[in-house]
Amino acid sequence: MSITNIEKELIQYNFFRCHRSYLVNLKKVDSLKGNVIVIKKLEIPVSRYRLNEFKCRLAKSLGEILC
Domain boundaries along the sequence of the chain? 3-66
DSSP 8-state assignment for residue 30 = -
Mean of the pLDDT values across residues 27-40?
97
Statement: residue 43 has pLDDT above 60: yes
Q: Rounded mean pLDDT of the chain?
A: 94
Q: CATH code for 3-66?
A: 2.40.50.1020
Give the pLDDT of residue 67: 52
DSSP 8-state assignment for residue 1 = -
**For a pLDDT cut of 90, what percent of the chain falls above it?**
90
Statement: residue 65 has pLDDT above 80: no
Mean of the pLDDT values across residues 40-67?
90
